Amino acid sequence: MSDSRNTHQRPTEPKMDDFRKGQIDDAQLKLLRSGENSDLKIRCRDRMWGVHKVILAQRCPFFRAALRPGFQEESSGIIVMDEDEPQAINELLTYLYTLSDQINLPSGRDRKIGFIDVYDEVYSDSLIPELNDRPQQLIQSLTNNVKYLSDVLVTADKYQVSDLATLAGQKIAARLVVLQCWAGAWKDGWKEKDGWKDLDKRLTSAFSEALYLEHEMPPLQRYQNTFFQTVISKFDIDTIFSDVEFIQAHPRLTREVLLDRNKALKSMVEDVPKSKRKKYTMQH
């Protein structure tokens, strides 16, 4: 017969790690937002943050190096980061202060798009009927997320904050799963429905703008590849890339499609033995 006295665990003394992480995050975030007792300024275009050297130097190799004695940034008391996107710098600083696994995506996003990070591919499939009802809203929300996350990923990679870069990459990948689900539905017959006929072009255009930034960005390459493979395997690229305005708006993606086509043609030629190749004669 078991001893009922052993069915309950004895309470243990609270440890420092037992304090709610959310409360610590909030306190750190308040410190960043208020700039209280800050000893350094960071400027990015029209935004300025009052920050704390000890926090940044401890958690970011770039700031650790920039704040060494003798460096201009350390002596001037201000670090200028005008080449970066202000919202991405804000996310970088927020992460360095809180080490949170959340990224504050644009507040105007569709709530259902926000749940992508919580659920799996089944949830992505559930969005397909809604895409039929309000395609432009969902596409805009999804690709706004991707553009924002792309900026965060590139910035985190640039300043060697690898955990934030990984986090942003995971969120981009989750949104590409949604694209793949929608692309599969389009190919499997939804393209015949009203409002879906040019959906492949709209999705391709929106994701191209979100993932292909002004300059080549190596950290985004793997996500660009996933997007590219989805486009060429699921969508009607002959129709999409016959549109001159589309080509002019998306030159880098167009170049990749043409290179892929050339490789395919070259492979077809190389697969035919020279002895069996026929001379082409123009038909009159």
Please indicate, yes or no, if residue 3 is contained in any of the structural domains.
no
Question: Is residue 2, in this structure, part of any structural domain at all?
Answer: no
Same domain, 185 and 265: yes
The angle subtended at Cα 63 by Cα 62 and Cα 68, nearest 5°, is 105
Amino acid 39 reads D
Q: Look at residues 35, 67, 100 and tell me which one is the last residue of a structural domain.
A: 100
Asked whether residue 175 is domain-assigned, the answer is yes
Listed residues 49, 68, 100: the one ending a domain: 100
State the pLDDT at residue 270.
Answer: 62
Same-domain status, 39 and 143: no
240 in the same domain as 164? yes
- 240 & 183 share domain: yes
Rounded to an integer, what distance in angstroms lies between the CA atom of residue 49 and that of residue 43? 7
The arrangement of strands across the sheet holding 78-80 comes to 47-51, 40-44, 78-80
Q: What is the pLDDT of residue 51?
A: 97
Domain span at residue 31 reads 20-100
* pLDDT at position 7: 40
SS3 assignment, position 256: helix
Is the same domain home to 71 and 210? Answer: no
213 within domain boundaries: yes
Residue 283's pLDDT is what?
Answer: 55
Sign of torsion over alpha carbons 255, 256, 258, 263: positive
Within a domain: 36: yes
How far apart, in whole angstroms, are the C-alpha atoms of residue 75 and residue 56? 16
* Per-residue pLDDT tens digits of the chain, which is 284 residues long: 444 444 434 334 434 443 444 555 788 889 999 999 999 999 999 999 999 999 999 999 999 999 988 777 666 889 999 999 999 999 999 999 999 998 988 755 566 676 676 555 556 667 777 777 778 888 898 999 999 999 999 999 999 999 999 999 999 999 999 999 899 988 888 888 777 878 999 999 999 999 998 778 999 999 999 999 999 999 999 999 999 999 999 999 999 999 998 887 767 656 656 665 555 455 54
Indicate whether 15 belongs to any domain.
Answer: no
Domain count, the chain: 2
Q: What is the DSSP string of 6-64?
A: GSSPPP----GGGS-HHHHHHHHHHHHHH-TT--EEEEETTEEEEE-HHHHHHH-HHHH
> What confidence score (pLDDT) does residue 274 get?
61
Non-local CB neighbours of 184 within 8 Å, separated by 6+ positions:
234
Residue 122 lies in a domain: yes
- On whether both 154 and 199 belong to a single domain, the answer is yes
Based on the fold, state whether residues 51 and 118 are members of the same structural domain.
no
Q: Is residue 11 part of a domain?
A: no
Same domain, yes or no: 87 and 56: yes
Tell whether 215 and 237 lie within a shared domain.
yes
Q: Please report the pLDDT score of residue 19 as a whole number.
A: 40
Residues 58 and 144 in one domain: no
Q: Which two tokens stand for residue 54?
A: 């000890």
Q: What are the counts of helices (DSSP H) followed by strands (DSSP E) for the chain? A: 15, 3
Note the pLDDT of residue 108: 54
Report phi then psi at 47, rounded to 5: -115, 150
- Check residue 5 and give its pLDDT: 42
Residue 36 belongs to a domain with what CATH number? 3.30.710.10
State the pTM of this model: 0.81
Amino acid at 30: K
